[in-house]
Structure formats: structure tokens, C-alpha cells
Amino acid sequence: MVNLPTNPADILPFIISIITSHTFITLVIFPGLIHLVLASSFLTWYERKLLARIQLRIGPLYAGWPGGILQPIADGVKLIFKEVIVPYKADRTLFTWIPLALVFLGTLPFAVIPFGQNWVIANLDVGLVFVFATTSIFPSMIIIFAWASNSKYPFIGGLRSLFQQVAYEIPMWISALSVVILARSLNLLDIVNAQAKIWFIIPAFLSFIVFFICVMAELERLPFDLPEAEPELVAGWYTEASGVIFMALFLALYLKLYLMSTLVTVLFLGGWWGPAFLPQPVWTILKTMVVATFIIIPRGIYPRIRVDMLIKLGWTRLLIIALGNVFLTLLIVNSGVLSAWGL
């Protein structure tokens, strides 16, 4: 359905027409590959700076003039040239390729997340379930990677990560169900459009709290830091990763942070709706950065949660609060209280 040019003089206009097509721009530039790599690198720098200010230090300072902003690039270059040590009798193939698969999985859900009315790569009707389905593959890959590095610390860390992520995925899904009931659609573009008059954080406030806590647990962020318990387990399930493999894992983890922050924004904070003096994607990114700030800050403040309290919190309290909020949302929608805002 595309006419390839036969005349050599036509090749340059043809390439230009492909590059400026909307599909290519969304795929590669925004919200595509370049934006994702830049955003996750920026998040690594942002986290280090933020935690440093909380802990009364300065953070990255020397790489790049305005406050060490080129630090992620310096880290990347350093990690590429470091030696990759595969542990003795570890499974070399799995050890090598699972981090790559994790990066792949981390970028895949961004194909359906809308950053603006026209800024979505693939507007799927099952968008929300697509995001949840792909993020549910993470625990199995983590446990395989932990098994593949033939070492005790990663194995224990991997198991802890598995139980933690598995425990907090269900309350996450059920609190997103409240949003689905309010918006009556699984299409993320429709969900954001339904928040034109009122952001879903207001009718579904309890769901927002549950979702936020589950997001922090999914990302293995303090206070849910057990899989990466530094005084106990060195570095948890990625202890043995070094060099390029660690860079891939690091990229995957921060991609997941960006993904979850964007998901909170799209589901609860109204996506791109805001006063019109800023373009729509800028609003989305601003709100995402605010959410990411609130996810990063507890890392500098709170102690770690104990494992039995973690399991109790995930399986009992959060699940029941999420279910309760689903019924509350049902009653609200049924009674028509929100019809003034078009819900």
C-alpha cells in the first residue's frame, strides 16, 4: 500500500514522508523509543538528586554542567565497558537474555498509553488489560533470572520479589476496576477522555490510595524493599548482574517506574486535562513527574516493612479496601450522583 520510488531522485522525499508520518513520530520519537530512553535516564538522575536533598547531601554534581544532568550517560558508558562476570555454573543463556527481555517487556505497555489526544501509538480497545497482562509477566522473569544466577542471595531475593509482586498485583487490578466502572471502557484514551470534567481521584479516592501503595510494592521501592534489602541481601535478585546486563536491568526497572507513574496519571489524575496554555503531552509528563516524586520520596524516609506485615497488608487489608471501593463505585454510578460531570 506504499509506493516505493523507482526513480533515485525520489528516494529522499520518500524517506522524508515516512519520517514525518504520524506513525513514525509516535513510534520512535514521542511517546516512543527516544522519549522512553530519555525519560528513564532522567528518572535515574532525578531520583538520585531528590534522595540526596532529602538526606542533606548534593547528589550527582560533576558530570554535566547544570547539576550533574549527564550522570546517566556517564553511568551508561561506564557500565558498557565493565566486565560481565557470569557466576560459576550459572545458566549463561538465561543470564544474558532475560535482562533484554525485561527491557522489551518494560517498553511494550507504552504502546497503548496515551500522552495526548493524538499521542498514542496503538489505541487498543483492551488497553488497560494489555498493560496489566504484560506487567504480570515480570515476576516470572525475575524468578528465572534469580534462578539462573547460581547463587544464594539472588535466589532468596527473587523469591521474595515473586511473593511480593504477586501479592500486590491483585489489589492493583481491583482498584483499577473502580476506574473501569467509572469510565465504562478499557480503552485508555476513553478513560482519560472521561475525566474531562472531574479527575477520577475524587470519586475513587480509596482506589487511588490502594493503587498507589500497590504501585510502590510492584516497583520494589521502599518501604517495600525486601527483595533488594541492602543490609541483608547485597542487592537482591540482581546481585550477580554486572556491566551491560546490569545496565539493561537498571533501564528496565526505571522504565517500569515511568510506566507505573504514567499509569497512575492516566487512570486517576486526568491524563492530559489541564488549562490550555500548555500542550497536552506536557501536562501528562508534569503530572507523571509529580507522581514519580511521591513514589521516590518514601525511599529516603521510611524503614522497611516486615515480611509478614507485607503479606498481610497485600492480601487482606488492601484487597478488602479495593473490593469495598468497587462496590462503593457501583453505588455511586448507579445512583447517578456523578451525572453532572458526565460519568
Partner 1 sequence: MEVALAVPPDIVFIILATITLLAAILALQAKELIYGAIGLGISFIGIAGFFILLDAPYLAMLQIAIYVGAVVVLILFTIMLVRREVGEEVIEKGERGEGAAGLWIAGLLAVSIAGVAALAGPNLASTPPPGQLPVSALGPVLVTEYPVPLVILALLLSAALLGALMLAKVER
Partner 2 sequence: MIWAVLILLFTGPLLTLPYLIVFPKRKEDHFRDMPFESGQVPQGEARRRLSMQYYPYVLMFVVFDVVGMFLFAWGISFTRIPIGSSLMVLLFLILLGAPLGYALRLALRRENW
Q: Among partner 1, partner 2, none, what binds residue 278 when CB lies within 5 to 8 Å by partner kind?
A: none
Q: Which of 153, 212, 224, 254 binds partner 2 (CB under 8 A)?
A: 153
How many Cα neighbours within 13 Å face the side chain of 118?
Answer: 5
**CA–CA separation, 327 vs 316, rounded Å?**
17
State the DSSP code for 222: T
With binding defined as CB under 8 A, does residue 294 bind partner 2? no
Residues of this chain, 314-333, that bind partner 2 according to CB under 8 A: 315-316, 323, 326, 330, 333
Residue carrying the nine cell digits 513514525: 24
Give the binding site for partner 1 (CB under 8 A).
1-4, 6, 89, 91, 94, 124-126, 129-130, 132-134, 136-137, 139-140, 143-144, 147-148, 150, 162, 166, 185-186
What are the backbone angles phi and psi of residue 143, rounded to the nearest 5°? -70, -30
Q: Rule CB under 8 A: say whether 32 interacts with partner 2.
A: yes
Q: Establish if 191 lies at the interface with partner 2 (CB under 8 A).
A: no
Report whether 233 contacts 157 (CB < 8 A): yes
The option from partner 2, partner 1, none interacting with 143 (CB < 5 to 8 A, set by class) reads partner 1
- C-alpha–C-alpha distance, residues 111 and 126, integer Å: 12
Q: Taken in order 236, 239, 245, 250, is the CA torsion positive or negative?
A: positive
Nearer to partner 2 (CB atom), residue 283 or residue 314: 314
Is the CB of residue 189 less than 8 Å from the CB of residue 341? no
Q: Total binding residues for partner 2 by CB under 8 A?
A: 71
| Residue 122 touches which member of partner 2, partner 1, none, C-beta under 5-8 Å by kind | partner 2
> Which partner, partner 1, partner 2, none, binds residue 137 by CB below 5 to 8 Å per kind?
partner 1
Site for partner 2 in 243-272 (CB under 8 A): 243-244, 247-248, 251
CB of 4 to partner 1, least distance (A): 5
- Residue 265 has φ and ψ, to the nearest 5°, of -60, -45
C-beta separation of 117 from 280 below 8 A: yes
Decide: is 185 part of the binding site for partner 2 (CB under 8 A): yes
Tally of CB atoms within 10 A around 333: 17
- Closest contact distance (angstroms) between CB of 265 and partner 2 is 20
